[in-house]
Amino acid sequence: MAAVAHGIRTVGVIGSGQMGLGIAYVSALRARVPVLLHDRSEVQLKKGLAFMDKLLEKDVAKGKVSSEDAKDAKDRVTVVSAEQGLSGLRDVDMVIEAVSEKLAVKEAIFKELSAKLSPEAILATNTSSISITKIAAATIPEGQTAASSEGAKSASRVVGLHFFNPVPVMKLVELISALQTSRDTLDRARAYAVACGKEVTTSQDVPGFVSNALLMPFINEAIMCLEKGVATREDIDKTLKLGMNHPMGPLQLADFIGLDTCLSIQQTLYTGTGDSKYRPSILLERMVDAQWLGKKSGKGFYDYDA
Ligand X SMILES: NC(=O)c1ccc[n+]([C@@H]2O[C@H](COP(=O)([O-])OP(=O)(O)OC[C@H]3O[C@@H](n4cnc5c(N)ncnc54)[C@H](O)[C@@H]3O)[C@@H](O)[C@H]2O)c1
Cβ contact 137:111 at 8 Å: no
Interatomic CA distance for residues 201 and 175, integer angstroms: 6
Which residue of the set 126, 131, 156, 174 is catalytic?
174
Identify the residue among 4, 10, 34, 40 touching ligand X (CB under 6 A).
Answer: 40
Number of residues binding to ligand X, judged by CB under 6 A: 28
Asked if 100 is part of the footprint of ligand X (rule: CB under 6 A), the reply reads: yes
Which residues within the stretch 140-169 sit at the binding site for ligand X (CB under 6 A)? 162-165
Residues making up the binding site for NAD(+): 15-20, 39, 101, 106, 128, 165, 296
Between 17 and 168, name the residue whose CB sits nearer to ligand X: 17
Which residue of the set 27, 114, 126, 128 is catalytic?
128
Identify the residue among 114, 127, 154, 252 touching ligand X (CB under 6 A).
Answer: 127
Give the nearest distance from C-beta 42 to ligand X in angstroms. Answer: 10
H helical segments located in 40-157:
42-61, 67-75, 103-116, 132-137, 149-156
Q: Which stretch binds ligand X (CB under 6 A): 64-72, 96-104, 197-205, 237-245?
A: 96-104
> CA distances (Å), 55 to each of 21, 24, 26, 166, 261, in order?
10, 12, 11, 11, 23
Prior bond of 207 cis (ω within 30°): no
Q: Specify the DSSP class assigned to residue 243.
A: I
Asked if 261 is part of the footprint of ligand X (rule: CB under 6 A), the reply reads: yes
Which residues within the stretch 164-183 sit at the binding site for ligand X (CB under 6 A)? 164-165
Identify the residue among 27, 29, 33, 39 touching ligand X (CB under 6 A).
Answer: 39
Mark whether 174 is an active-site residue.
yes
Neighbouring C-alpha atoms within 13 Å toward the C-beta of 294? 17
Interatomic CA distance for residues 80 and 135, integer angstroms: 23
Q: What phi-psi label fits residue 15: left (phi over 0), alpha (psi between -120 and 50 degrees) or beta?
A: left
Mark whether 162 is an active-site residue.
yes
Interatomic CA distance for residues 73 and 54, integer angstroms: 13
Which residue of the set 27, 97, 126, 162 is catalytic?
162
Cβ contact 283:262 at 8 Å: no
Mark whether 234 is an active-site residue.
no
Cβ contact 80:41 at 8 Å: no
Asked if 44 is part of the footprint of ligand X (rule: CB under 6 A), the reply reads: yes
Between 162 and 198, name the residue whose CB sits nearer to ligand X: 162
- What three-state secondary structure class fits 12? strand
Which residues within the stretch 13-32 sit at the binding site for ligand X (CB under 6 A)? 14-20
Which residue of the set 129, 156, 212, 281 is catalytic?
212
Q: Would you name the residues annotated as active-site residues? A: 128, 162, 174, 212
Q: Which residues bind ligand X (CB under 6 A)?
A: 14-20, 39-41, 44, 98-101, 105, 109, 126-128, 162-165, 257-258, 261, 296
